[in-house]
Amino acid sequence: MASHLHKGSFGLSFALSIACTISILLISAAAVSAQTFSPTGSTADPHGSGTATLLLSGKVLVAGGGNGEAQDIAEIYNPGLGNFAGMYSMTAARFGQTATLLANGNVLIAGGQDQNNNTLNSAEIFDSTKGTFTATGFMNWPRSDATATLLPNGKVLVTGGLFPD
């Protein structure tokens, strides 16, 4: 599938996706001063090209990605315990998506690619209090490896990335 760079009002935007497994490292105050990292808990599934979003609770939502194919799995990392707990089902298997923490504590997941490398325009919301994903709206254009920014008015700007011809 061909992808191309998009030149719009925000200038030339592009993203490079490097597939790798997310490893979350716990960094203590002592480790920061010593400039060292300490390994912590491991995910149940690989999340290469997935997202990691810091939640208002201090926990981390690790969503999507995969290891050679898109996943519809999300996990929650608890830095206080140093482990991952819970497996949550997303509404769509995706990698290369965006994840944006919203003011209400929920997370907007948008775009990415599916297991057949089709670029997605679908979006879903992770409800951080219920631990559930719900489908919500569609972007005007499918895109993966884009950037997403929460604006002061509560809307999310998704721009750049790769999308099909």
Domain boundaries, the chain: 19-164
The domain defined by 19-164 carries CATH number 2.120.10.80? yes
Q: Which residues contact 79 (CB under 8 A, 6 or more apart)?
A: 26, 40, 58, 59, 60
The token pair at 91 is 């509404």
Consecutive H or E run containing 77? strand 71-78
Phi and psi at 58, nearest 5°, equal: 95, -10
**What is the rounded distance in angstroms from the CA atom of residue 75 to the CA atom of residue 109?**
14
List per-block mean pLDDT (blocks of 10 residues) for the chain, which spans 165 residues: 35 27 44 70 83 96 88 93 91 96 98 94 96 96 96 96 80
Q: What is the pLDDT of residue 12?
A: 26
Q: What is the pLDDT of residue 41?
A: 83
**pTM summary value:** 0.78
